[in-house]
Amino acid sequence: MNYMKTFILIATMTALFVSIGYFVGGQGGMMIAFILAAVMNIGSYWFSDSIVLKMYKAEPVTGGELYQLVADLAGRASLPMPKVYIIDNPQPNAFATGRNPENAAVAVNTGLVNMMNRDELAGVVAHELAHIKNRDTLTMTITATIAGAIGMLGQMAMFMGGGRDENGNMRNPIIGIVIMIAAPIVASIVQMAISRTREYSADRMGAEICGNPQALASALAKLENGANHIGNETAENNPATAHMFIINPLSGRGMDNLFSTHPNTANRIAALQELAERGGFTRLRSEPSRSDDGNPWTR
- Its pTM stands at 0.79
Per-residue model confidence (pLDDT) at position 289: 45
Per-residue model confidence (pLDDT) at position 2: 53
The answer to whether 128 is a known catalytic residue is yes
Per-residue model confidence (pLDDT) at position 262: 87
Domain 53-141+173-278: CATH superfamily is Metalloproteases ("zincins"), catalytic domain (3.30.2010.10)
Reduce the secondary structure of 115-154 to three states and give it as a string: HCCHHHHHHHHHHHHHHHHCCHHHHHHHHHHHHHHHHHHH
109/85 Cα distance (integer angstroms) = 9
79 — phi, psi (to 5°)? Answer: -115, 150
Per-residue model confidence (pLDDT) at position 157: 64
182/174 Cα distance (integer angstroms) = 12
Measured between alpha carbons, how far is residue 78 from residues 129, 237, 254 in Å?
10, 36, 36
29/156 Cα distance (integer angstroms) = 9
Q: What is the pLDDT of residues 47-81, one digit of tens each?
A: 778 888 999 999 999 999 999 999 999 999 999 99
Measured between alpha carbons, how far is residue 190 from residues 8, 31, 140, 204 in Å?
10, 21, 11, 22
The residues spanned by each domain of the chain are 53-141+173-278
Q: Extract the residue ranges of the chain whose pLDDT is less than 50.
A: 1, 254-255, 289-292, 298
198/205 Cα distance (integer angstroms) = 11
144/40 Cα distance (integer angstroms) = 10
Which residues are registered as beta bridge partners of 97? 105
- Per the rule left: phi > 0, alpha: psi between -120 and 50, beta: everything else, 286 is beta
Q: Which of 65, 128, 199, 208 is catalytic?
A: 128
| Beta strands 103-109; 83-87: pairing state | parallel
Q: What is the pLDDT of the chain when averaged over all its residues?
A: 81
